[in-house]
Amino acid sequence: MLIKRPDDIKSGEITDKELYLNRRQFIRTASLGAAGLGSGLLIPGLLGPLGEARGATKLTGTGKSAFSTDEPQTPLKDITGYNNFYEFGTDKSDPKRYSDSLKTRPWTVVVEGEVNKPRTFDIDEMLKMPLEERVYRLRCVEAWSMVVPWIGFELSHLIKAVEPTANAKYIQFVTLHDPEQMPGQRRGVLDWPYVEGLRMDEAMNPLTILGVGLYGEVMPNQNGAPIRVVVPWKYGFKSIKSIVKIRFVEKEPPTAWNVAAPQEYGFYSNVNPTVNHPRWSQASERRIGDFFRRKTLMFNGYEEQVAHLYKGMDLTKLY
């Protein structure tokens, strides 16, 4: 499916993104100032519900990451308007259409299981982690891809804070289950809540982050607000959204798509162009916004950073 763009709009007639955001920020700040709240939106983190401020609230104090790709970034409107988030529907436009119902304040993430220091993190507490901009490739199993400027922090920071025991071999993540806020959960497309997992060494890899924003702003609801996993060398469905629980476990945990269709989706789900999905080839992909397809890269182009994690494994069987 190609995204169509009108040919009669000249580039000079398109409002610059920064100018557009600054104007919105000015209007919002002025209205808050009238209520005696000042300009608190420009501090690291977020004051007030994400649903109210989405697209206008910036995350400040973020550093640049050496792990970022220098490839052209996918436009914000495509990142926020074309994505999978089955909790809001199965069509690519459903998340943007229906995710306003998601309330992301208050929001906590429970960390439990094989750890010495189980605890509950408030989202604003997590926003005080060392945030970075990570421009990562995103490759979806349906053979389309993007380049997304995520804002987040290394998952390893959280892992170290809770001190896993020697029995912690895997991490399981759990998405919010609330059909009132997430209308897609009223349908039996998957066994809700959505769950995903990583092996401990995958989770500790510096490429693995907990994302809290993109394009310098707080995470839009349709992209997994207020916090999600981003694992850039795996297919997109591994990067679970709207997390409420993280469990450290000894055995490989079940994952949503592996339970739903084990013949199509394995636990590892690494981007591997030599292993076809049963219903289509993974050898090539179409970058959103491009007309022509391109060759799919092993591990989505992150082979140098992660191939050692799978040394000796048969990646055609452990897909």
Per-chain mean pLDDT for the chain: 86
- For residues 25-38, give the mean pLDDT: 35
Which superfamily does 64-310 belong to?
Answer: Oxidoreductase, molybdopterin-binding domain (3.90.420.10)
Angstrom distance (rounded) from CA 195 to CA 243:
9
Give residue-wise pLDDT tens across range 111-146: 999 999 999 999 999 999 999 999 999 999 999 999
Residue 42 has pLDDT above 50, yes or no: no
Give residue-wise pLDDT tens across range 71-97: 999 999 999 999 999 999 999 999 999
Decide: 86 and 261 in contact? Cβ < 8 Å.
no
Q: Measured on CA atoms in the order 93, 272, 244, 188, is the torsion positive or negative?
A: positive
Residue 189 pLDDT class (50, 70, 90 cuts)? very high
Tokens of 1: 């499916």
pLDDT at res. 64: 87
Backbone angles phi, psi at 303, to 5 degrees: -60, -40
Residue 295 has pLDDT above 70, yes or no: yes
- Chain position carrying tokens 């991490």: 171
Could you report how far apart the first and last alpha carbons of the chain are, in Å?
Answer: 26
**Closest-CA residue to 238 (of 283, 274, 195):** 195
Residue 231 has pLDDT above 60, yes or no: yes
Mode of pairing for the β-strands spanning 132-139 and 144-154? antiparallel
Whole-prediction pTM: 0.83
Residues of the chain above pLDDT 90, percent: 79
Angstrom distance (rounded) from CA 97 to CA 23:
24
**Closest-CA residue to 79 (of 153, 173, 168, 150):** 150
pLDDT at res. 215: 96
Residue 21 has pLDDT above 80, yes or no: no
Decide: 243 and 109 in contact? Cβ < 8 Å.
yes
